[in-house]
Copies of this chain bind each other. A is one copy, B any other.
Amino acid sequence: MRTLNVELAERSYPIHIGAGLLSNPALILPHLKTRRIAVITNDVVGPLYLDAFVAGLEAQGLRVTRIVLPDGEAHKDWQTLNLIFDGLLAERCDRSTTLIALGGGVIGDMVGFAAATYQRGVPFIQVPTTLLSQVDSSVGGKTAINHPLGKNMIGAFYQPKLVLADTTALNTLPDRELKAGLAEVIKYGLIRDLPFLEWIEANVERLLARDPDALAEAVERSCRNKAEVVTADETEQGERATLNLGHTFGHAIETGLGYGEWLHGEAVAAGAVMAADLSRRLGWLTDADVERVVAIHRRAGLPVKGARLGAERYLELMAHDKKVTDGTLRLVLLKAIGHAVITAEARADDIRASIDACC
Contacts and interface: CB of A to CB of B under 8 A. Distances in A.
A237 to B, nearest CB: 10
B119 A153 contact: yes
Given A85-B153, A90-B149, A150-B89, A121 B322 contact: no
A94 interface: yes
A199 interface: no
A36 B326 contact: yes
B90 A120 contact: no
Interface string A147-160: 10110111111000
Contacts of A116: 156
A325 B150 CA distance: 37
A92 to B, nearest CB: 6
11 contacts: A36-B327, A85-B154, A89-B153, A90-B149, A94-B324, A95-B325, A96-B326, A119-B153, A120-B142, A120-B155, A156-B156
Counted per complex, copies of this chain come to: 2
A319 interface: yes
Contacts of A153: 85, 89, 118-119
A82 interface: yes
Nearest to A119: B322
Interface string A304-343: 0000000000000001101111110000000000000000
A235 B86 CA distance: 24
Interface in A218-264: 235-236
B150 A320 contact: no
A51 B323 CA distance: 31
B156 A120 contact: yes
Nearest to A97: B326
Interface in A129-183: 142-144, 147, 149-150, 152-157
A3 interface: no
Nearest to A152: B120
A60 interface: no
A12 interface: no
A183 to B, nearest CB: 22
A14 B71 CA distance: 45
Given A147-B89, A149-B90, A154 B118 contact: yes
Tell which of A35, A117, A120, A323 has the most Cβ of chain B within 10 Å. A120
A24 interface: no
Minimum-distance CB pairs A-B, first 3: A89-B149, A94-B324, A120-B155
Interface string A23-53: 0000000000011100000000000000000
A152 B116 CA distance: 14
Contacts of A157: 120-121
Nearest to A88: B153
Contacts of A85: 147, 153-154
Interface in A58-113: 78, 82, 85-86, 89-90, 92, 94-96, 113
A94 B327 contact: yes
A92 B320 contact: yes
Contacts of A143: 120
B117 A235 contact: no
Nearest to A36: B326
A121 B235 contact: yes
Contacts of A121: 156-157, 235
